Chain A
Amino acid sequence: MHAMTSLAFLYVILPVAMAVFLLCPPVWRRGALLAVSLCFFLLVQPSTFPLLLVCLATDWLILAFMRRYHDSRRFCRGCVAVSVVKNLLVFLVLEILFQMNRLVEAPWGLRVYLLSSLSCILEAYRGEVPEDYHPVSYLLYCCFFPRLEAGPLLPYRDFAPQLEALNPSLTDIGRGFGLVLQGAVKTGVLAQALQATYDALRAFPAEDLTVAGLWSAVLVLALSVYYRLSGLSEMAQGIGQMMGISLPKNFYYPYQSQGVTDFFQRFLITVSNFICRNVYQPLHAGSPNVLADCLNLILWGVLMGLWFGLQVNYLLWGAFLSLFLILEKHVFPNVMKKVPTLFLRLYTLGVVLCSFAIFGGASPGASAMTLTNMFRFRQLNLYNDRLVYLLTSNWLLLLVSLLFATSAVSLLLHLLRKTLPRFVTVLFTAAIDGALLVVFTVFTIRVG
């Protein structure tokens, strides 16, 4: 369970945070928000609070040096290099320590605050932000509490101006809370139940492996990852909206993509944009060299995998998808335009599911075995009673998960909003929000 999908967060911490925020005069709200963010961090993981402060303080110093010596391009480049190396080292060392069981738990929010502070430095280097950073704005940008779990990432230049006037309307608060509930149900209910189903599917002994079982497992894993991350991102968006801060979308129905290129524009959108802005574009920079572009695309995929953690399978997941990026961009660009939408979607779904077979493996060898078995239609049974039992035991979960992973429900609701009278729409929205709150509570309380 994540800290943000606990009963304590929804029923106590969020209301208290909102109360503190709204009761403050608008001029003080930025500071109040920072205080709330830091207090929340202390609540969740006080042991790594000094790490957070040291990392941000170091980068703040680097920014100060860059501001002072902004005329020396070489010096600024050196500062950027120091920051990149520092942040990468911190991330790698802590990830390695965690995987060697030297750390009790993974440092909370590490990826987000390291990448955010790095983003500040890179934007300053490129001259995209004003030189006089406000320290409170900088700190709030790096450790705004709803973003720390799983993003979304956004440039400092898009975040900071919003802090000048934090005046959410009641409509913002209402809509934002609706998003928070949506996200909470996605990550606290659906993602957890899907993960349990995936664990049960993976626990099948070798003699009970079937082709349908393996495909079901990767599909369930893909849905679980999607709901976990998109739910947390929506909660961040919702809380941001409640506080007058607009955060970008991080997911847009990725499993409806038409091509792997489209997939990366719908899955972890802000992470993909961050890598494109800060790695791919600087390296590529209009170069016609196809080989260099291919290598950059593979690097892009590997960095996307690194977002999930320092495991070989995650990096291979990204690299695998990059291969298809390369094929779509350099080998079959014209074919992609001619293929009907349905086949494009099926092709993308197939590739993505195969990538999650790599993602979910305990090792590259295990992933290769899984991937091979997924296509052994002659050697393995198609399905068996054990699989049928597990799937029928979770039919409602699977149906709901598949349905809400598509835009069908969203389109239907949009149509209803257009055709129904306004007051009916408002009541309907309130009823949905109420139902989401009940569902979240019912499935979060400990039963039995």
Chain B
Amino acid sequence: MKRIPSVLLGAALLLLPFFLLGAESFEVTASSPLLGSGGLLSYLEGYLNVSLPWVDKMAELNLSIRAFGGQKEYNQVFICGDELLRDIDPPVEHSLRENTASILEFAEQGSIPTYCMIIPTASAIRQESLPPFAKTQMVNQKQIIEDVYSQMVGRVTVADVYPVLFNARDQYLYYRTEDNLTSLGGFYLYTVLGPKLLEGVARPSLSDYDIAFVKTDYYGSLYQKTPYKEARADSLAIFQYTKTPRQYLVTKRQDGALKTYHTLYPLHLLDLGREMDIFVGGLSAVTTIQTNSPYKASLLVFGDKTALTFLPFLANQYSTVTLVDLFQLGSQEYESLSLLDYDQVLFAYSIETFMHYNTPSRANRLLTTLEE
């Protein structure tokens, strides 16, 4: 009796290599550096990782066992029911200091009204959704934003969006599967930013906009980062300003090339699989939005992808809004910009960009355009 399982197991194991060799051909992917210098061993390992029967089921079982065993975080993404929240690394003090100092220097030397908005991430605003006890290990984004703003008092006008976002945290402000704010989240940013930037303009209201859901089954970058597939799909909404008709010309400059759209929302990009680019055509080195707004002011925005969420709202109140991504900005694009063309400058970054990268500090290079 004891021999039967041995015989069956032995036969299964001896037949398995033949079964695997009969499987579809496999391309060698990056070899595993963990298995020493043996290239063949790495090849076999990679082959088996894709060829073993029921690999997908085993991946699901892996996840289920880990989830049952208490694990709620994969690749720095928290799994919180039907949504995914990204964890962010602790701040890089050097970047925080440099960015703050650069903005202050810009405000002093630029002599242009300068504004600053640091946007918290979903893990701060929706911290109640985090797994139990995970909150305490998160970066205290509120404190960091307050510390930065306290250094800017009197010299830069700051827009503190944290309280507004936090009070509306139960609303659909952040995507469930993408690391960014939704259009509604962008609107909430605009409700704080607008009155700071624009004196005399009526307080924004949702009734000024027609809201249309252009895609209701979007799965973003966070969804691809984790093996967790139970997150609820996101809906992409566009807000069309209906209070007074507007015409738009969106010009995008990237690597010397030029693209234009006559809408804030080029929806044809949905069909190309570039869902997040429907918001002002996506993030380019320089994006200029010109409108037939009765307000003749012009605004220069230094920002990251979070700026795309509130730009469609701001654009209606200016004749020209230019969004510059300093990370992508090349020397050609630098030369095409001049601070003299703008009435106001806004630094609008996600707190993650602000405390990890020195991107905002590159704006000071444009101060030379004031000397011309």
Contact = CB atoms under 8 A, between A and B. Distances in A.
B58 A441 contact: yes
Quick one: which of A19, A47, A433, A448 has the most chain B CB within 10 A?
A448
Contact of B136 (A384, A396, A446): A384
Interface stretch (A1-9, A137-145, A292-300): A1-9
A46 B35 contact: no
Contact of A397 (B17, B38, B52, B69): B69
B36 A105 contact: yes
A43 interface: yes
A420 interface: no
Interface string A6-43: 11100111111011000000000000000000000011
Given A173-B10, A386-B136, A447 B59 contact: yes
Residue of A8, A47, A386, A393 with most chain B CB atoms under a 10 A cut-off = A8
Most buried by B among A12, A16, A170, A173: A12
Contact of A389 (B3, B48, B136, B225): B136
A429 interface: yes
Contact of A426 (B2, B13, B68, B132): B2
Contact of A8 (B13, B41, B71): B41
Given A12-B44, A16-B17, A170-B3, A388 B226 contact: no
Interface string A406-425: 00000000000000001100
Contacts of B74: 448
A173 B41 CA distance: 24
A442 B68 CA distance: 15
Contact of B134 (A8, A389, A445): A389
B227 A445 contact: no
A171 interface: yes
A419 B216 CA distance: 60
B2 A389 contact: no
A18 B6 CA distance: 13
B131 A174 contact: no
Interface string B221-239: 0000111000000000000
A44 B226 contact: no
B37 A47 contact: yes
A105 B133 CA distance: 39
B36 A3 contact: yes
Contact of A393 (B14, B62, B73): B73
Contacts of A132: none
A44 B70 contact: no
Given A12-B48, A386-B133, A426-B1, A44 B38 contact: yes
A392 interface: yes
A191 B53 CA distance: 26
Contact residue range for chain B?
35 or more
B5 A173 contact: no
Contact of B5 (A1, A47, A429): A429
Contacts, number: 154
A18 B11 CA distance: 11
A13 B44 CA distance: 10
A385 B135 CA distance: 8
A447 B229 CA distance: 13
Contacts of A43: 38, 40-41
Contacts of B132: 389, 392
B65 A442 contact: yes
Given A171-B2, A426-B2, A46 B37 contact: yes
Nearest to B228: A448
A108 B13 contact: no
B1 A19 contact: no
B5 A447 contact: no
Interface string A174-188: 100100000000000
A14 B48 CA distance: 14
Interface in B27-55: 32, 34-38, 40-41, 44-45, 48-49, 52, 55
A5 to B, nearest CB: 10
A105 B137 CA distance: 35
B63 interface: yes
Contact of B69 (A11, A19, A169, A396): A396
Given A7-B49, A448-B226, A12 B35 contact: no
A3 B35 contact: yes
A177 B48 contact: no
Contact of B38 (A16, A46, A396): A46
A1 B6 contact: no
B72 interface: yes
Most B C-beta atoms less than 10 A away, residue of A42, A438, A442: A442
B20 interface: yes
User: Interface centre among B40, B74, B226, by most A CB within 10 Å?
Assistant: B40
Contact of B9 (A3, A47, A433, A446): A433
A441 B44 CA distance: 14
Contact of B17 (A3, A15, A438): A15
A51 interface: no
Contact of B52 (A11, A104, A177, A443): A11
Given A1-B35, A12-B17, A386-B137, A7 B52 contact: yes
Contacts of A42: 38
Contacts of B270: none
A7 to B, nearest CB: 4
A11 B37 CA distance: 20
A394 interface: yes
A16 B6 CA distance: 16
A423 B133 contact: no
Contacts of A11: 13, 16-17, 20, 48, 52
Contacts of A13: 44
B258 interface: no
Nearest to B9: A177
Interface in B64-98: 65, 68-75
Nearest to B224: A448
A389 B138 CA distance: 12
Contacts of B40: 43
B63 A447 contact: yes
A75 interface: no
A395 interface: yes
Contacts of B49: 7, 445-446
A430 interface: yes
B202 interface: no
Given A16-B17, A389-B132, 5 more contacts: A45-B36, A169-B3, A171-B6, A386-B133, A442-B65
19 contacts: A7-B49, A42-B38, A44-B41, A170-B6, A173-B10, A174-B2, A177-B6, A389-B131, A396-B65, A396-B68, A397-B69, A423-B1, A426-B2, A426-B5, A445-B48, A445-B58, A445-B59, A448-B59, A448-B75
Interface of B: 1-7, 9-10, 13-14, 16-17, 20, 32, 34-38, 40-41, 44-45, 48-49, 52, 55, 58-59, 61-63, 65, 68-75, 131-137, 225-227
> 3 closest Cβ contacts across the A-B interface?
A174-B6, A396-B69, A389-B133
Interface of A: 1, 3, 6-8, 11-16, 18-19, 42-47, 104-105, 108, 169-171, 173-174, 177, 208, 384-386, 388-389, 392-397, 422-423, 426, 429-430, 433, 438, 441-443, 445-448
